[in-house]
Structure formats: C-alpha cells, structure tokens
Amino acid sequence: MDVRFLRTEPTMAFPRGRLLAVRGGRLTVLAPDGWDPVGGRADHAEPITREQAEDWCEREGWPSDLLDAVPTP
C-alpha cells in the first residue's frame, strides 16, 4: 500500500512543520512515540516526496527508517 507524505505549515512550536503520512486513507503524524493517528484533514499541509521526507527526518534528527513504519489501517 502506497504512502504519501506531507509537511504542515511552520508554527512557533514546530518551525519546520510536522511530518504527516497518509496510508490507506488514514492520516498520521510523526510523534516522539511513532506514528499517531490524526482526526480530520490536512488541508493546509504541503505534499512532499519521499526524498523530501527523508531530508526532513535528517534535519529534525529522526531516523529515516520511520518512513517505512507508517501503520497500515
């Protein structure tokens, strides 16, 4: 099942935005304890490529193998 990645708009708490993923229609956010489901929609999030998601992980200090751990609904 394919995964799409998105990045939220920057905020004071998250100056580089947050990393979101959609798999099987389920929206999740990368949190300290892994991928957490998010209710609602990501209307203002920007779609990004897998490579951009890997770059985001590197800048934020997250291991990029988390991108392979997006849960299946």
In this structure, what are the phi and psi dihedrals at residue 14, rounded to the nearest 5 degrees? -135, 80
The pTM score is 0.91
pLDDT, position 1:
67
Distance CA 71, CA 17 (A): 21
In this structure, what are the phi and psi dihedrals at residue 64, rounded to the nearest 5 degrees? -70, -15
Sequential pLDDT tens for the chain (73 residues): 699 999 999 989 888 899 999 999 999 999 988 999 998 888 889 999 999 999 999 999 999 999 999 999 8
pLDDT, position 37:
95
36 in Cβ contact with 43 (< 8 Å): no
29 in Cβ contact with 38 (< 8 Å): yes
